[in-house]
Chain A
Amino acid sequence: MAYLRKVAAIVWKDIVAELRTKEMFSTMFVFAVLVIVIFNFAFDLRISGERVRQVAPGALWVAFAFAGILGLNRAFVAEKDRGCLEGLLLAPMDHTAIYFGKMLSTILFMLVVEILMLPVFTIFFGVNLFDLRLLLIVLMGTVGFAGVGTILSAMTAQTRAREVLLPILLLPVAAPVLIAAVKATAGILDGLSMGEMVLWLQLLVAFDLIFPAVAFMTFDYVVKE
């Protein structure tokens, strides 16, 4: 319970700081909207009708992924740049609590952006995204993406080329999550049942479990000199 309280304290701290500055949220949201708008214009010039619906899942997850990268870049960079990471490392807690606190904060901020993006996407692409199953896919994909991204953010925050290095490392590693999320999203738009998409759902669940487990074993070595 003490462990969970400390994870919750880190999440609380990130939420309060973000509510005060809205720095991360505004950056992520504006960037996601820009991606949607650009994709909308780009595809609108060449394709229409059914083919728009075919590219919609990919466009959606590209927007989510790049917005997520912006959020992840700030997750540990802000702590490192202000020297605050040491304050967390000094606390009498297992350092994996920092990982889980940061991961949960990132998931929360990403989900807020994603939920606000769904109606924007619906308007621009003309596809109905208001489906509870889609929200579940968004949640699972976000958890997997944030799970991988948080540990890589912690690694790259200590390097000089971190803004470039994080996406270079993250996108290949998170590719299975993104592919599974895109396929599952496409399946929902195509009217498939959850049973017909079980392969992609299993991949999402596996990533949602594996990477936090890997982080649990390695995080202390990542953050300490």
Chain B
Amino acid sequence: MMLNRLELADSQLDSPLGRTSPIIKLGVGIGWLAGLALTLAWTPPLLLAAVALAAGILLGSVRVGTLARSIAPLWIAALGIGLFNALYSTSNGDPAAATLVALGPTRITVEAATNGFALALRVIAIASVGAVFTLTTDPTRLADALVRQARVSPRFAYGALAAYQAIPRFGEDLATLRQARRIRGLRGSWHPRLLVTLLVLAIRHGDRLALAMDARAFDSGSMTFYRDLRWSWLDAGVAIGASIVLIGALALGR
């Protein structure tokens, strides 16, 4: 198993959404999420998911194939969650409710199906917004924005960024550990003990990285910043546009 790095093309990073402050994009995501909690209607999540995907493709220069590959598993999971909720809804046991499907002892009422579907749609909307955020946001820029625009501690933001760089390494650790098991005649490529070793390796790597960062004077005084990052009209535009979309979607869902 290899954990691959998500590598954004320069066109994605230089697109309008790529240049928008990650803080604004995070804010939009959270705002939309909160808005969706206000309604059970089908239109708002559908509309928000559609707008997010369209924005990703048109404003974020995300290739349709890339976007489809990254959201497909999330959508399938969302439909699974919806189906599960429809199957196990308490309203299925209500004899007065209208039956939609009955297969032997299994019965799904109209109400259960409706609620399950509404839930699936909301998960789809959240997944789509999340995928577009990830595919248009440079991790370095996210860390910069967290520190400079949202006043998050540099120790947390840049520490997390350095840890993010190390993620593929965990995949390699695991691959080697599994090979080590096989060559020693141990059956099965998985064993809970591997988790312990993985954790030990991750901690050791983190220790060394932290030491190297400390040796470079990390977090020892006030930082200056090499990369440009300032609020722009684009940020305001995205924030206003996203608010209008949300209000419109909620209005349509009434």
Asked if A pairs with B, the answer is: no
